[in-house]
Structures are given as structure tokens and as C-alpha cells.
A and B are shown apart, each in its own frame.
Chain A
């Protein structure tokens, strides 16, 4: 591949392999980063994972129920403050949430500015009229999505994935499902590495740009191989589980313990969420 030429005139089509590679590596990187911040000391890291899951749900509910922009904004600043005291780089935290949102929610919210009927807020060229209700709606959507994503990201950045899984037990999720979730997460990593290798090996052997049918054949072969591999690994894992004495139900070590500080934090969250729901009626 004549890289110098292609890199200047890069069409999205020519490097779908590369795009997938970038996505895969980004995902791996993201999960490594999360595990690292989750294991470093900080305010939220010290709290009981069960408490954190329930608190996150409660706060998400408060964000969802609020009819007041101020309340949602306050909850967003709460998330920022929590991130700060949990030693999460604030720039990263803000960027991770707000870099992607404009691409998806922003585009969705944009037309609402103009087509929601209501009093006029501003006139734009081309006869576009921004209405006040349209503006409020768009801000509601963006702020709500941003705050919700922030809260979810906060949970993951301060809690190791294994603890998140174990803590899901408080939501009465059957143990077998939690076991499967854990295994899935483990094997996502394996399959990501496999896929990475497959695409990389193909890419390193490419001499020219592939055409459409070739690309689709590649996708089919990669997906099919991955599927075969998944099925094969699953029977191997099953045999491995059996040979290690898996008796049809998982056992976990329940090491969580609510301490005074957890109860305190829990009470605080309940008060904050209740206040937010009350104020945001």
C-alpha cells in the first residue's frame, strides 16, 4: 500500500480494516485505563461497590425525573466534584463525555431548535428561527444525556469490573447471569486480541486497495472464523470448568462489608437524590 499517497487522500472505505483496528485498540485502552483508575486511591474507590451501584441508579433516576435544568446541572457538578476527589483527571473526564455527545445527541437535538413551536428566541440567516421551547428542549436532552453518561462513567472509573459484577448481586440478578457477565468480559478481551491479530495480519499482507466485494468477503471470513473460534472456545471452557469441579452453580467469595463511612455516604446520596427529585418536580 502506497501509504504516503493514501494517508493524504484517505477515504473511509479504503481503511475500514484500520478503522476497526483503531476501535479495537481504543476499547482495550479504555478498559485498561478504567482498571487503573479504579485501583488507585480516591474518594469513590474507597466505598462499597454495592453502595456505588445503588447510588448511581438513584442519581440517574433523579437526573431522569428532573423537570428543572438547574437541578440536572447541579447533579452534573456533583459528578465533577466526585470525579475530582476520586483523583480522576478532570480534563479526561469531561472530554470522554462531551467529545462524543455532540456527534450523536447533538445532531439529534439540533433540528428540535427550529421545529419545536414556541416563542421566538433568535433569528438566523436563511429564515431559520430558533424557538425558546426548542432551545430548552435541546438543552434538556444534551444536559440529561451528558450527566447520565458522566455518572455511569464515574461508576466504572472508580470500581474494578469484577467488583461491579459481584455487586450486581444486590439487584437480585441471578448468580449464573453474573457468572456469564464476568466470563463475557474476560472473553471480549480474548476475542478483541484475536480480531486485532486477524485484521493486522491481513493488513500487513495487503499490496493494493481491496475492492468492495473483497472487503465484504474479508468481513465475512473474519466474522465467521471468530464465530467458529467462539463456539470452539466455549466447549473448551466448558470442559475446563468441569475438570475443575464446576457443579452447575457458581460460588463467589462475598468480601464486601459496609462500614460506617459507607452508611454515611449512602445516607448522603439518598438525601441528595431525594432533594433533587423534590426540587426538580
Chain B
């Protein structure tokens, strides 16, 4: 925290106060326009990390697709992706005389469930990125994480909590849809701001010139969050609630389009423990926060740091043992990568992947017997 404060101070030094206000307003405006991250805002390293974070959600979506053997999902996802593509083009009139765009992610999640919504919105984003240059290609991982994972999951969770065990006609569904849409996009904006904000800290030239998005966390996160909470998220809430209300009047079956699967012993452990994966994903995103905290994690001092801490001597056993194992990436550092921050994150990724592979192999071993042959699959 100290480091952020000093960074902020050095940034704002010499800038008149009224200018700060101006920048704040400007930041608020830009926050509403910056949800589709173009290439160039995020470093390739961040982009790759974001791809790795979204990957399990995509795998989960494809699995869900295959699990429900009906090929019915293929055109369904295609049509909902097309729908959300077009919803993103709607100019929604908002009080105050301007218009804004919605993402439609909350709506897709309410109708299809979050797993399938992730697929549908990701596909819409892929088409936007490749075909219309809206949002970067390398940044697809980040965009999909923000808009196709965070947004649908958060809004779906809130919608479920509010309208759970209520008849389909309940007005609470409208409230749940609105709150879900609002919170979903706001949280998504937080993540986008976070992704922007870590760029200048991690990637800059020798003299401190930021190479990608130039604003630190202290500017980018508040700008994105407040701007969305005040403008873009209410629009998402409005569109979601209005359409749910419309469906309540005209086509209630759409709200029950996907029968919510009650967690049965049949459903795979993957889905059941989904929240753990979400937490893991969040933790990985937060890996770079470790770089902000000064010092070493409590209890993880090296022998040298121990003596620095005021310990008069290093326990002999520790001194002996510490030389026993020299890790290939000692101190989460790679000599080949000149930027130690990069190396830190890279170590984090490698570590997570290695752990992931080990766990996956273990799960495969345990569940191998359960697999049923002869199941027709989509591929």
C-alpha cells in the first residue's frame, strides 16, 4: 500500500487540483468506453495469463455442451451469440439525453445459465475482435474473462439468490435481473481496471515510461468502477430488467428455457466444486498484488533475511537445510527474463500449471473407472 501511495504522490505532484478533477471526469468518461480492450493496452504477458484464466471456463462450457447430448445447443448458442452481438449494437437511451450500450451478458446468463452464456458471449466477442476490429485479438482472453465470465457468473448468482424458489411469474425476477446486471458489469469493470492498472507497474522502460496502459491501479480501478457503476451498469441493469419483464408478459417459457440442474450426485465434481475454480481464478489474477506488498511473506524469510530481521544467529539446521534444494526458479526469478516482475508472474503461472497438471492426472486416475463408454459426443 505504501508503494501505491508514493507512486500516486509522485504522479500527482505538480498537478493543480482543478486539473485533477478534470482528469477524474475524463477518466470517468473513458471508463465507459473502454470495456472492449483493444490490443496494445495490455502486455502480451498479461494477455496470456488472461487466456489461461478463461481456459477452464471455456473447457467447462464445451463440456456442458457435450454433456447435454442434444445437438440442440449448437444452434442455440449460435443464435444467442448473434443476439448478444446485436444487443451490443443497440443504442439504449438513458436519462440525460445520451445513449449507451449494454453487453447482454446478464440476460444470456439468466436465460441459458452461466456456462453456456460464457460460450455465447465469448463467440460474440471473437467475431467482434476478428471481424470488426472491436476489441483486440491478443486481448480476447481478458475481454472474455471480463465480459463472458465475470459478468454472467456474477449476475447469474445474484439473480438466483433473489428469485430462487419463486414462481416464474414472480416480480422478484425483474429485481434480480436488474441487480444482477448492475453488479455483474460493475465487477467486470473492476477486473478490467485491475488489468489496466497493473500494466504501468510491471511493464515500463528503464526511465519509467509505461509501455502499455499508462495509469496505475489507483487511477484505473476507481475510474472503471465508478464510471460503470454510474453509467454502463445501470444500462445493463435496465436492458436486462426490461427484457425479463417483457418475457414475463409474453413468453415465460424463455425464462425456464434451461431447466436449472439441481445438483445431483450424477453431476460431475467439476461443476459441483465450480466455486473453487472461480476462487482459484481470482487468486491467479491477484498474483501480481504480491508485487505491491513490500518485504517477504511472513515466515518465508531466507536465511539472509532472517539475520536482517534482527535474529542474532541463523539456526544451524536451517542454514544447512537451505542449501539442500536449489530450485530451478529460485526466488521466483528467472535469470533469462530480465524483468523480475515478469519472472515473478511467470513463476506463478508455471507453478499453477504444474499443480494443475498434477491434480488433473490424479483426478483422471481416480475417476477413470467412472467413465462410460459409448456415449455419443459432440466434437
Contact = CB atoms under 8 A, between A and B. Distances in A.
A226 B83 contact: yes
Contact of B210 (A116, A216, A226): A116
Contacts of B209: 116, 118, 133, 136-137, 140
B27 A223 contact: no
A196 to B, nearest CB: 10
Contacts of A148: 38-40, 136-138
B89 A13 contact: no
A27 B132 contact: yes
A115 B15 contact: yes
A94 interface: no
A16 interface: yes
B99 interface: yes
Nearest to A57: B137
Interface string A27-63: 1001100100000000000000000000011001101
A147 B39 CA distance: 9
A23 B119 CA distance: 25
Interface stretch (A78-86, A227-235, A253-261, A268-276): A227-235
B92 A219 contact: yes
B143 interface: no
A27 B93 contact: no
A61 B40 CA distance: 10
Contact of A161 (B16, B131, B243, B378): B131
A144 B39 contact: yes
A262 B352 CA distance: 38
Given A16-B93, A181-B123, A230-B83, A141 B40 contact: yes
Given A116-B210, A227-B254, A249-B378, A61 B138 contact: yes
A64 B44 contact: yes
**Interface hub of A185, A224, A246 (most chain B Cβ within 10 A):** A224
B296 to A, nearest CB: 29
Given A156-B130, A230-B83, A16 B92 contact: yes
A55 B34 CA distance: 27
Contacts of A238: 70-72, 74-76
Interface in A189-226: 190-192, 195, 212, 215-217, 219-224, 226
Given A133-B208, A136-B209, A144 B40 contact: yes
A92 interface: no
Given A60-B39, A223-B90, A16 B138 contact: no
A5 interface: no
B111 interface: yes
A74 interface: no
A48 to B, nearest CB: 17
B238 interface: yes
B229 interface: no
Interface of A: 11-13, 16, 19-20, 23-24, 27, 30-31, 34, 56-57, 60-61, 63-65, 67, 96-97, 103-105, 107-112, 114-118, 127-129, 133-134, 136-138, 140-141, 144-149, 152-153, 155-156, 161, 164, 174-177, 179-181, 183-188, 190-192, 195, 212, 215-217, 219-224, 226-228, 230-231, 233-235, 237-238, 241-242, 246, 248-249
Q: Which 4 pairs, one residue from A and one from B, show the smallest C-beta to C-beta distance?
A: A144-B40, A220-B242, A224-B246, A148-B39
28 contacts: A23-B91, A60-B39, A97-B133, A110-B26, A114-B23, A115-B12, A137-B209, A141-B212, A141-B214, A144-B39, A147-B40, A148-B40, A152-B136, A152-B137, A183-B74, A186-B78, A216-B238, A219-B92, A219-B93, A219-B239, A220-B245, A223-B87, A223-B90, A223-B107, A226-B86, A235-B75, A241-B74, A249-B378
Interface of B: 10-16, 19, 23, 26-27, 29-30, 33-34, 38-41, 43-44, 47, 62, 65, 69-72, 74-83, 85-87, 89-93, 95, 97-99, 107, 111, 119, 123-124, 126-127, 129-133, 136-138, 205, 207-215, 238-239, 242-243, 245-247, 250-251, 254, 257, 376-379
